[in-house]
Each structure stands twice: as C-alpha cells, then as structure tokens.
A = this chain, B = another copy of it.
Amino acid sequence: MAGKIDARLAELGITLPTPMAPVANYVPYVITGNIVVISGQIPAVGGKVATTGKVGPGGLSAEEGAAQARQCFINVLSHLKIACGGDLDRVEQVIRLGGFIAAPAEFSQHALVMNGASNLAVEVFGDAGRHARTTVGVPSLPLDVPVEVEGMFRIA
C-alpha cells in the first residue's frame, strides 16, 4: 500500500504526525488547479509547541534552529499528504518554501537555519524537492516559536 515517498519517509525514520489544527480561523491548505498552498507551519511536535524563543545569541544555535525548520517541514508534509488524498507520490514539484526565522537584528545565519527544511525536502523528494526559497528574519512568530515555514507544491 505504501508509496515510494512513504517508504522514503520510513527510511528517514520520519512518522508524519496527525496534522495540527490551525490555531485560528483558516485552513491548513488550499488546492487550486494542480497547486497546493500550505499555511505557515510552526515546529509543533505531537500537536504541542515544544520549543519557544529566538535563534541567535542567547537563544537557539543555528543548528538547533535548523532542527526546528526541519520539524516545520515535517508538519508541512503532514498537511500535504492529506491534500494529496494520502498519496505523497502525487507530488510533482516542491515549488517554493518560505522561511521565517525569529532572530535579533545582529543574526545573519538564516540560510543555515532554513536548510533544515530545504535539506529534508530534497531528502524526501529528490530532484523534485529542489525548490525556490525566500528566507528572512522576523522579531517574533505566533506562540513565540523560533521558526515558521510555508510551502507551495505542484501535484499530479
């Protein structure tokens, strides 16, 4: 039953969580034509915010931030799978990821942090996981999480 991407996730030791309900009046994804737009995801684990604070001096290291970005992308995948009717093999292309890193003015390693999401996209989808990306710093994020990642995908 499991598809190629499900098998790849299993190889990576990743179990997709039950998708977290949005914290407000919106939906996790919208499909328009063959495009899936996924709402900004926070690095919740098991439906709960596990890590709060900022990345940078006095907060998380860039490597710790990257782990949070990876978790955001796992949550993106959990919604994407539902958008695909359960079949992630329908994903043709990761079009774009947007990464927002909560960090102070002196932080400059945003790219390292966002790589946590980008690397996983390529590990999971191979060449189809190579995406356009915009990464910026922000002073604060919903629920005081350190990273938020949104996504756009093309599906069959």
A40 touches B134 (CB 8 A): yes
Report B-chain residues with C-beta under 8 Å of the C-beta of A35: 32
Shortest Cβ gap from A82 to chain B (Å): 13
Whether A24 and B118, one on each chain, are in contact in the complex, defined by CB atoms closer than 8 angstroms, is yes
A51 contacts partner chain B, Cβ-Cβ < 8 Å: no
Determine if B105 and A28 form an interchain contact, defined as CB atoms under 8 angstroms apart: no
| A: contact size bracket | 35 or more
- Whether B112 pairs with A24 at a CB distance below 8 angstroms is yes
- Minimum C-beta distance from A134 to chain B (A): 3
Complex alpha-carbon distance, A31 and B111, angstroms: 22
Q: Contact between A30 and B139 (Cβ–Cβ < 8 Å)?
A: no
Does B132 lie within 8 Å of A137, measured CB to CB?
A: no
User: Which of the residues B118, B131, B139 comes within 8 Å of A137, measured between beta carbons?
Assistant: B139
Return the CB mask of A131-143 against B: 1 if under 8 Å, else 0.
Answer: 1111111111111
Please tell me if the beta carbons of A132 and B54 are within 8 angstroms of each other in the complex. Answer: no
Bound Cα distance A22, B27 (Å) = 29
Q: Which of A98, A112, A134 has the most CB of B within 10 A?
A: A134
Chain B CB within 8 A of A150 CB? yes
Task: Judge whether A32 and B154 touch: CB under 8 Å.
Answer: yes
Residue of B nearest to A145 (CB): B108
Q: Which residues of B contact A32 (CB under 8 A)?
A: 35, 93, 95, 154
- Listed by A's residue number, 7 A-B pairs whose Cβ atoms lie within 8 Å are A25-B119, A26-B133, A27-B132, A32-B35, A100-B134, A134-B148, A134-B150
